[in-house]
């Protein structure tokens, strides 16, 4: 990514000039809240500097707006108070239609970071990694279903999973998507028709954690703009059509210490170093605790089924698509180098909190010298119950209530990420569970098919 400018005083003026020259009239600043929904304020270009320095007002309930437009109040998040939404100038990108976008963070009136701000939380985790001498890169995959503007399924026949057919059927949309992403400085790595009917996927290049999460928000905005221009919407629901495959939001990451990779060149399996193994061990050990950040929405559980490549089994393995943690080896076929893919994440998660949880577990694993659990080389679904027990592999929970109760009661999650993000997440997800109690699974999926769309 080529940033327009770095974040200092003169950089604001420079960015202003460049945006003006690019025909920008409006600047949109976004944050993603505990529900995984994207909230925004916009200003005319003339107010760019104010948006960066003083920010725009945002009520504390921004943290806990829910997927149905409600508010999940907590003891500390009430109608009283105000925060400031400040854009990060370094992340500014030009969008089609005279608009520009930048990621934003939420601050208290006195300038302190708002403790429930997800981008701030990830920035803190990234800071802890750097302080401890580690450099992380994160790469995101985006899966989505193209649907009608009201969320209904589109008619397309026939659909070939991973087929060339889908690429041709939707070639005009895909070509415009590619151009719009390129124009915004976001080069995608690959694009394909996915397994589900009218489901597509593209992946973004690895980048430092906050910057990489920012690009997911930008990419989802661009998908939304281009889909609308083609008379469609994109569903980022984890389970848009229950009973079929869902949307994942897999995150890949790699770690280096002083420039030396932790996932290759070591003496463990597949060249994994002792520290790399400890990072993976920390993730496997802590995954159930933080699942509420990765697969916590009321629709997340219906995606997490064995046989759907959503990584429903708690284990790791080389190129194992049924493992929640898939290891990708170094080699000629892997130009980015060895990395770890956390497959269970879905797009209803707050992308910043999901990265924060994964990386914080990795760092905690390294600090605690976690052991690397035994690798599971095959599909755990092909093992008998007894064999799975012997191999210490189990299915992750797919119960929204259990996942969120575990998060609420997790001293690990609270220690690593703080009470504020845990409490906000628990509040919005329990609110979703109350709505769901009144609906059948199909009604629930239909009602919230566009809840995480931008
Ligand atoms: N759609 C699957 C999921 O829900 C992932 C398919 C794949 O491996 O790309 O995670
Ligand atoms: Mg995929």
163-192 pLDDT, tens digit each: 999 999 999 999 999 999 999 999 899 999
Query: What does the block give as tokens for 363?
Result: 């760092």
Judged against a pLDDT cut of 90, whether residue 10 lies above it is answered with no
- The answer, yes or no, to whether any atom of ligand 1 lies below 6 A from the CB of 143, is yes
Please, what CATH class does the domain formed by 9-113 belong to? alpha beta
Q: Which of 161, 198, 309 to mutate to test the pocket of ligand 1 (most atoms within 8 A of CB)?
A: 309
Judged by its nearest atom, the ligand closest to the C-alpha of residue 239 is 1
The beta-carbon contacts of 269-273 under 8 Å, at least 24 apart in sequence, are 269/318, 269/372, 269/375, 270/318, 270/327, 270/329, 270/330, 270/338, 271/329, 271/330, 271/338, 272/327, 272/338, 272/372
The tens digit of pLDDT for each residue in 290-344 reads 999 999 999 999 999 999 999 999 999 999 999 999 999 998 889 899 999 999 9
9-113 and 124-447: identical CATH topology: no
- In this prediction, residues 137-160 reach a mean pLDDT of 94
Return the sign of the alpha-carbon dihedral for residues 433, 438, 440, 444.
negative
- The answer, yes or no, to whether any atom of ligand 1 lies below 6 A from the CB of 364, is no
Q: Where are the domains of the chain?
A: 9-113, 124-447
Of 390, 396, 382, 421, give the one whose Cα is nearest residue 343: 396
- In this prediction, residues 333-357 reach a mean pLDDT of 97
pTM of the entire predicted model: 0.97
For the CA of 321, the closest atom of ligand 1 is 8
- The answer, yes or no, to whether any atom of ligand 1 lies below 6 A from the CB of 240, is no
CA of 311 to the centre of ligand 2 (A): 11
Give the DSSP H/E element, type plus range, for residue 85: strand 83-87
The tens digit of pLDDT for each residue in 51-97 reads 999 999 999 999 999 999 999 999 999 989 999 999 999 999 999 99
Judged against a pLDDT cut of 60, whether residue 8 lies above it is answered with no
The tens digit of pLDDT for each residue in 266-300 reads 999 999 999 999 999 999 999 999 999 999 999 99
pLDDT of 206 reads 97
pLDDT of 3 reads 52
pLDDT of 179 reads 95
Judged against a pLDDT cut of 80, whether residue 1 lies above it is answered with no
Judged against a pLDDT cut of 60, whether residue 44 lies above it is answered with yes
- In this prediction, residues 211-230 reach a mean pLDDT of 98
pLDDT of 119 reads 98
Percentage with pLDDT > 90 across the chain: 95
Rounded CA gap, 237 and 232, in Å?
15
CA of 149 to the centre of ligand 2 (A): 23
CA of 248 to the centre of ligand 1 (A): 5
Judged against a pLDDT cut of 80, whether residue 196 lies above it is answered with yes
Cβ < 5 A residues, ion ligand 2: 201
CATH fold of the domain at 124-447: Creatine Kinase; Chain A, domain 2 (3.30.590)
For the CA of 343, the closest atom of ligand 1 is 10
């Amino acid at each position: 990514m080529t940033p327009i400018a770095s974040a200092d005083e003169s950089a604001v003026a420079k960015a202003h000039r460049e945006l003006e020259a690019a025909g920008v009239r409006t600047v949109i600043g976004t944050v993603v809240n505990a529900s995984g929904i994207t909230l925004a304020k916009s200003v005319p270009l003339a107010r760019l500097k104010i948006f960066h320095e003083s920010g725009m007002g945002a009520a504390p309930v921004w943290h806990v707006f829910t997927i149905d437009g409600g508010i999940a109040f907590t003891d500390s998040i009430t109608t009283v108070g105000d925060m400031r939404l400040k854009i990060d100038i370094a992340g500014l990108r030009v969008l089609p239609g005279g608009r520009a976008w930048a990621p934003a963070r939420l601050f208290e009136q006195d300038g302190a970071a708002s403790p429930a701000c997800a981008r701030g939380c990830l920035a803190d985790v990234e800071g802890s990694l750097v302080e401890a001498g580690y450099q992380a890169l994160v790469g995101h995959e985006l899966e989505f279903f193209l649907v009608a503007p009201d969320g209904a399924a589109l008619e397309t026949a026939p659909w070939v999973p991973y087929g060339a057919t889908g690429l041709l059927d939707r070639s005009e949309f895909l070509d415009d998507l590619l151009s719009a992403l390129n124009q915004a400085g976001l080069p995608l790595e690959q694009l394909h028709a996915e397994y589900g009917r009218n489901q597509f996927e593209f992946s973004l290049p690895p980048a430092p954690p906050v910057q990489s999460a920012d690009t997911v928000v930008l990419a989802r905005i661009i998908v939304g703009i281009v889909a609308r221009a083609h008379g469609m919407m994109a569903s980022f629901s984890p389970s848009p059509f229950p009973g079929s495959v869902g949307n994942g939001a897999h995150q890949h990451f790699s770690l280096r210490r002083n420039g030396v990779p932790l996932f290759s060149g070591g003496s463990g399996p597949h060249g994994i170093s002792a520290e790399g193994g400890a990072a993976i061990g920390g993730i496997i050990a802590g995954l159930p605790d933080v699942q509420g950040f990765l697969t916590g929405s009321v629709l997340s559980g219906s995606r997490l089924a064995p046989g759907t490549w959503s990584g429903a089994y708690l284990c790791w393995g080389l190129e194992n698509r049924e493992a929640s943690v898939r290891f990708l080896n170094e080699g000629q076929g892997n130009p980015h180098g060895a990395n770890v893919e956390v497959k269970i994440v879905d797009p209803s998660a707050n992308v910043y909190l999901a990265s924060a949880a994964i990386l914080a577990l990795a760092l905690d694993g390294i600090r605690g010298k976690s052991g690397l659990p035994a690798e599971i080389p095959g599909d755990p679904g092909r093992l008998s119950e007894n064999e799975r027990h012997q191999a210490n592999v189990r299915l992750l929970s797919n119960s929204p209530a259990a996942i969120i109760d575990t998060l609420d009661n997790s001293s690990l999650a609270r220690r690593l990420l703080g009470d504020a993000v845990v409490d906000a997440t628990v509040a919005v997800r329990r609110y979703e569970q109350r709505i769901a109690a009144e609906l059948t699974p199909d009604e629930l999926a239909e009602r919230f098919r566009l809840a995480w769309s931008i």
